[in-house]
Amino acid sequence: MNGGRAGTERLVVIGGDAAGMSAASQARRMRGPDELEIVAFERGHFTSFSACGIPYWVSGDVPERDLLVARSPEQHRARDIDVRLRTEVVEIDVERRRVRARDAVSGTESWTPYDRLVIATGARPVRPDMPGVDAPGVNGVQTLDDGQALLDSLEHAEGRRAVVVGAGYIGVEMAEALVKRGYAVTVVNRGAEPMSTLDPDMGCLVHRAMEGLGITMVNDADVTKLLTGREGRVRAVATDDAEYPADVVVLGIGVRPETGLARAAGLPLGDHGGLLTDRTMRVRGHENIWAGGDCVEVHDLVSGQERYVPLGTHANKHGQVIGTVVGGGHATFPGVVGTAVSKVCDLEIARTGLREKDARRLGLSFVTATIESTSRAGYYPGSSPMTVKMLAERGTGRLLGVQIVGREGAAKRVDVAAVALTARMTVEEMTALDLGYAPPFSPVWDPVLVAARKAAAKVHETP
Amino acid sequence: MNGGRAGTERLVVIGGDAAGMSAASQARRMRGPDELEIVAFERGHFTSFSACGIPYWVSGDVPERDLLVARSPEQHRARDIDVRLRTEVVEIDVERRRVRARDAVSGTESWTPYDRLVIATGARPVRPDMPGVDAPGVNGVQTLDDGQALLDSLEHAEGRRAVVVGAGYIGVEMAEALVKRGYAVTVVNRGAEPMSTLDPDMGCLVHRAMEGLGITMVNDADVTKLLTGREGRVRAVATDDAEYPADVVVLGIGVRPETGLARAAGLPLGDHGGLLTDRTMRVRGHENIWAGGDCVEVHDLVSGQERYVPLGTHANKHGQVIGTVVGGGHATFPGVVGTAVSKVCDLEIARTGLREKDARRLGLSFVTATIESTSRAGYYPGSSPMTVKMLAERGTGRLLGVQIVGREGAAKRVDVAAVALTARMTVEEMTALDLGYAPPFSPVWDPVLVAARKAAAKVHETP
């Protein structure tokens, strides 16, 4: 017992965002302060904020920063969670069950013992090592401070030309945000098409739609340097072939697990650099340490392999599971199927399960079916086109993955496939699903069912 | 072989709407006219029309009738389907494999032999036996002719007061249509709340929302007669307690299977009056007769019992299965889980699985969880409230049913529960579902997951 009071255990949480504070909150719900002391260290200025909301704050859709804070440090403290902001944990001493933390302001360091530890250190953005990357006008969008810096950067920009580096979720969402701010936006993308989480044939639909929105898409392009001008401020993004003038640059290249501390402490990391846990989010081989959120790898229920999927929705579920288990209850996080949804203006993009290249890498023999349908009955006002691509295992017919690109109603339709993947349904079984139908909501055959019918018809074809 | 050409079989279809013509079309896709002759009898003027679309034609959202016709008789004929309009089958001679049909214009009757028969006679609206029910100004909304008659009736109405009798799907959709036409609408409903396909606590939300739209809801009221005035035209709807002035009346009381022909032919009917089939939609005990659409009972995968669920989406699936099987292929319709979606103006209503009273009738011990959440992240513009009610079996935790009432994004969220019901998931399993999350589409915990969490927490409570 490390706690200050007799009979009290101490839970230490490293990281004050979704996973860490969900864990702390749920643990508090289950055990009162007389049983469990909770200390949470956060190196930044905020707790429990929605990083996923930053693009919409930048766009102006969300009018102020504090709306993105689900629960402030004061709110956590009011529930007897001792939140220590601007305090970075710099070492985990697994042997002696304690962490060393540094106060960012004073620089002083001290050890805090724990009975149970939650590691929720999150992710760090990939920041390419190239000239100009630290110049004023170049911005990440990982934290609320980043978001504020970007807004300041927009304020000081001399012109209205923005370049977004990267065309994944963050890239396309930031492209939308900057279009809404009135910028001429160029997206420079290393891949053949935007949204590499989709197959290229579906990414191509996103590409065309983005161009339709007035966004310039540059594919197959590696950024080599960022050129600077007056006062050292960024003025252009350079690839091997070209230069793209920029008054502001947003880096949306992706993130990696922030697991330096865990690595130094000898905790188990996977191939993607994330912490490895069991289904209760307990770090493998460590009875009293849990980890969740963007610093862990997750089990992929479709491939059977570990993956790195840094999404807020998983982080919240991890925190909920950890808090329940730490609090003495039972809960598990069985894994993910790879669902993700996004939008660029009114274009909705969704995916779940395996892409063609994932299925090939796993050595699976599969068929694909791509169909075009509509969001509502064709005769109902506002009906808009939707493309659904479905992958199924040849022979067995097991659903492997679904990708959807369309307008209103496209994104959340992928949830049907997410549940079907979880239940290991076949596409033949899916054709009979009793999905909601009424003219304002769907054609009489839901687009997902149309895709399932086409895939089911191909499952028994010889390759 | 009854067909005209040697080696040709003849398929006779009774009923030219969704189930019948889907069956005919799919059979044609699988077998050419040299192998299979197809004759379809339809007593009305149209084929393959969307009855579900009639309220939106009446409202003006769908500008013209013909948009509701998915495929015209001419289009069917161009694909070698011999459609005979205004021709009513009046007898099925099962023994001698032939049907007797009457030409509605000439009154002549003749026998047509068949090798295979599809019965798709649909439903007939419940038309209460009360004074005034046949008066001008009183309208059903079952067929396109009914829709046209209603539009004519609105044209001739002297005032702008409409009474809708019945508050199920058709009733609430017609209430919306008449509100959009500028009518003052009163809905007179026998039940305690509108939408008896929901539990009353959820129906109450619909009630309040309808009142918010300016619709007068009269519950617990039995219509006793329709009062007529000048030229015999309807002038009011009377209950035991009151009279509701009406310039036009819409009957939306529901439908019953149209199985008079089948009954007379000695074919097997269930407790709800619908034809009984196996999973290939073959009429039980009759190798060469199939039935589908609003004239059959369907297997409920949740209760394990037969139910009557007259919905266009099932009719289309039935037709697809029948056509495939008649064409020599393999297909089944395993059953329904009871999904239905609807809307009144911007209020969306959805349900799947069992209501409380269904679960009680089955002798199940269950828990319920009702939660309020939002359609999008709370901070995202346009986020609107949504109420989700979930039923789960006590002890096992098996999902039994879900009801959702809300605004944008509420209706189709029920599909997640429909798939989970089909897969016989527990609410505990549902809490971990990897559903799509991004601020424009969902809170970080999708409302369905919030309900599942609450239900899962109650599953092991003692009653």
Domain positions in chain B? 9-124+256-326, 127-253, 340-457
The residues, any chain, with a CB within 8 Å of residue A158's CB and separated by 6 or more, are A247
Model pLDDT for residues B195-219, shown as the tens digit of each residue: 999 999 999 999 999 999 999 999 9
Mean pLDDT for B425-442 is 97
Q: In A, which residues are within 8 Å of B433 by CB distance?
A: 415, 418-419, 422
Q: Report which of A141, A16, A146, A37 is spatially closest to residue A89, judged by C-alpha positions.
A: A16
Average pLDDT, chain A: 96
Asked if B416 lies within 8 A of A413 by C-beta distance, the reply is no
Among A336, A341, A432, select the one facing B334 at the smallest CB separation. Answer: A432
Q: In A, which residues are within 8 Å of B350 by CB distance?
A: 436
Q: What's the complex ipTM?
A: 0.96
Q: For an interface test with A, which of B170, B345, B402, B419 has the most A Cβ atoms less than 10 Å from its Cβ?
A: B419
Give A386→chain B minimum CA distance, Å. Answer: 15
Model pLDDT for residues B1-30, shown as the tens digit of each residue: 454 556 799 999 999 999 999 999 999 999
Q: In A, which residues are within 8 Å of B453 by CB distance?
A: 320
Report the C-alpha gap between A287 and B272 in whole angstroms. Answer: 59
Model pLDDT for residues B262-307, shown as the tens digit of each residue: 999 999 999 999 999 999 999 999 999 999 999 999 999 999 999 9
pLDDT (0 to 100) of residue A82: 98
Give A114→chain B minimum CA distance, Å. Answer: 29
pLDDT (0 to 100) of residue A128: 86
pLDDT (0 to 100) of residue B3: 45
Give B331→chain A minimum CA distance, Å. Answer: 9
pLDDT classification of A461: cutoffs 50, 70, 90 = confident
- DSSP for A387-419 reads EEEEEEETTT-BEEEEEEEESTTSGGGHHHHHH
User: Would you say B298 and B309 are in contact if contact means Cβ atoms under 8 Å apart?
Assistant: yes
3-state secondary structure of A319: helix
Please determine, for residue A110, whether its predicted confidence score (pLDDT) is greater than 60.
Answer: yes
Give B420→chain A minimum CA distance, Å. Answer: 7
Asked if A434 lies within 8 A of B337 by C-beta distance, the reply is yes
| Structural domain A346-458, CATH architecture | 2-Layer Sandwich (3.30)
Mean pLDDT for B36-47 is 96
Among A422, A434, A440, select the one facing B433 at the smallest CB separation. Answer: A422
A314 to chain B: closest CA residue: B434
Mean pLDDT for A405-425 is 97
Q: Report which of B172, B151, B123, B94 is spatially closest to residue B17, judged by C-alpha positions.
A: B123
Mean pLDDT for B238-250 is 96
Q: In B, which residues are within 8 Å of A336 by CB distance?
A: 434
Average pLDDT, chain B: 96
> Is B417 exposed, middle or buried, given 0-12, 13-18 or 19+ CB atoms closer than 10 A?
buried
Please determine, for residue B420, whether its predicted confidence score (pLDDT) is greater than 70.
Answer: yes
Asked if A379 lies within 8 A of B50 by C-beta distance, the reply is yes
3-state secondary structure of A263: helix
Among A68, A377, A434, select the one facing B50 at the smallest CB separation. Answer: A377
Asked if B380 lies within 8 A of A62 by C-beta distance, the reply is yes
Mean pLDDT for B442-460 is 96
pLDDT (0 to 100) of residue A1: 47
Give B176→chain A minimum CA distance, Å. Answer: 13
Mean pLDDT for A233-248 is 96
Asked if A337 lies within 8 A of B67 by C-beta distance, the reply is no
Model pLDDT for residues A162-195, shown as the tens digit of each residue: 999 999 999 999 999 999 999 999 999 999 999 9
pLDDT (0 to 100) of residue A213: 92
pLDDT classification of A248: cutoffs 50, 70, 90 = very high
Asked if B444 lies within 8 A of A50 by C-beta distance, the reply is yes
A453 to chain B: closest CA residue: B320
pLDDT (0 to 100) of residue B128: 86
CATH 3.90.1150.10 fits B340-457, yes or no: no
Least confident range from A84-93, A134-143, A392-401: namely A134-143
pLDDT (0 to 100) of residue A6: 59
Q: Identify whether A345 is a catalytic site residue.
A: no
Neighbours of B304 (CB within 10 A): 9
Q: In B, which residues are within 8 Å of A461 by CB distance?
A: none
pLDDT (0 to 100) of residue B265: 98
Model pLDDT for residues B378-405, shown as the tens digit of each residue: 999 999 999 999 999 999 999 999 999 9
Asked if B343 lies within 8 A of A440 by C-beta distance, the reply is yes
Tell me what percent of the residues of chain A surpass a pLDDT of 70.
99
Q: In A, which residues are within 8 Å of B348 by CB distance?
A: 441
Tell me what percent of the residues of chain A surpass a pLDDT of 90.
95
| Structural domain A9-124+256-326, CATH architecture | 3-Layer(bba) Sandwich (3.50)
User: Would you say A122 and A258 are in contact if contact means Cβ atoms under 8 Å apart?
Assistant: yes
Q: In A, which residues are within 8 Å of B434 by CB distance?
A: 313-314, 335-339, 352, 418, 422
Neighbours of A312 (CB within 10 A): 22
Mean pLDDT for A157-166 is 96
Using only the alpha carbons of chain B, give its radius of gyration. 24
Q: How many CB pairs under 8 A join A and B?
A: 205
Fold match between A9-124+256-326 and A127-253? yes
Report the C-alpha gap between B337 and B353 in whole angstroms. Answer: 5
Q: In B, which residues are within 8 Å of A338 by CB distance?
A: 434
Please determine, for residue B408, whether its predicted confidence score (pLDDT) is greater than 60.
Answer: yes
pLDDT (0 to 100) of residue B5: 56
Give B444→chain A minimum CA distance, Å. Answer: 5
pLDDT (0 to 100) of residue B1: 47
Please state which of the four CATH numbers 3.40.50.720, 3.50.50.60, 3.20.20.140, 3.90.870.10 is assigned to the domain occupying B127-253. Answer: 3.50.50.60
Mean pLDDT for B403-415 is 97
Model pLDDT for residues A282-315, shown as the tens digit of each residue: 999 999 999 999 999 999 999 999 999 999 999 9
A351 to chain B: closest CA residue: B436
Among A18, A334, A419, select the one facing B420 at the smallest CB separation. Answer: A419
B334 to chain A: closest CA residue: A432
pLDDT classification of A83: cutoffs 50, 70, 90 = very high
